[in-house]
Amino acid sequence: MSIVDILLLGVGVSADAFAVSICKGLCLDEFDGKYALKIALLFGFFQGAMTFIGYYLGFSFINLIQNIDHWIAFVLLAFIGGKMVYEAIKSSNDGECQCCAIIEFNLKEMIVLAIATSIDALAVGISLAAIRVHILEPSTIIGLMTFGFSTMAVYIGYRFGDKFKRGSEILGGSILMLIGVKILLEHLLSHGGF
């Protein structure tokens, strides 16, 4: 897996955290850097950690799945990406952002949100185990990218409102689906078919 693939994967899995961070920024009367940093640290940590955990969960079953590993990676990434796109389109009529009822930083609420937005990263970690990628670099990059995107997203939410939430989820989901297709095609072309 190339660095470009890893960066695209980072963009894809960080889309949920980006969208939630925009929601959190929507509620701010004035931008608070410490607030944005706390959110970004939690989201970045959980995205990286869940990718790492997913990898080792998947790696423990690799002997059972090695003949269909490319299909597993494809199905997981296509499902996660498709779900993100579907939910973004479905929720576009809701109007208000549902994730920012409380303006002050609530650690318990933010941990729940960080875990919820990193479930996709767990599945991505499993798919990375299926294609035998060394996990330290991707999980670190995914965590750092999520940190950066989440910090920016709180500011974007504060500054520009709800305009970018839906688009970021659609873009992230589409990227994950395309990476799944790429993995499948690379395997099929290099092994001469199904």
Rounded to an integer, what distance in angstroms lies between the CA atom of residue 168 and that of residue 161?
A: 13
The band of 71, judged by pLDDT with boundaries at 50, 70 and 90, is confident
Res. 138 pLDDT band, cuts 50 70 90:
very high
pLDDT confidence of residue 37: 95
**Mean pLDDT for the chain overall:** 81
More confident residue, 15 or 173: 15
Confidence class for position 95, pLDDT limits 50, 70, 90 = low
Confidence of residue 103 (pLDDT cuts 50, 70, 90): low
Give whole-number Cα distances, 67 to 61, 72, 135, in Å. Answer: 12, 10, 21
Flag the least confident range among 57-61, 116-120, 190-194: 190-194
Give which of 45, 177, 192 is closest to 107, Cα–Cα: 45
132: left (phi over 0), alpha (psi -120 to 50) or beta: left
Q: What is the pLDDT of residue 55?
A: 92
pTM for the model: 0.71
The neighbour count for residue 70, using CB atoms within 10 Å, is: 23
What beta strand segments (E) does the chain contain? none
Question: Residue 163's pLDDT band (boundaries 50, 70, 90)?
Answer: low
CA-wise closest residue to 12 among 171, 132, 190, 163: 171
Q: Which pLDDT score, from 0 to 100, does residue 102 have?
A: 45
Q: Identify the DSSP state of 34.
A: H
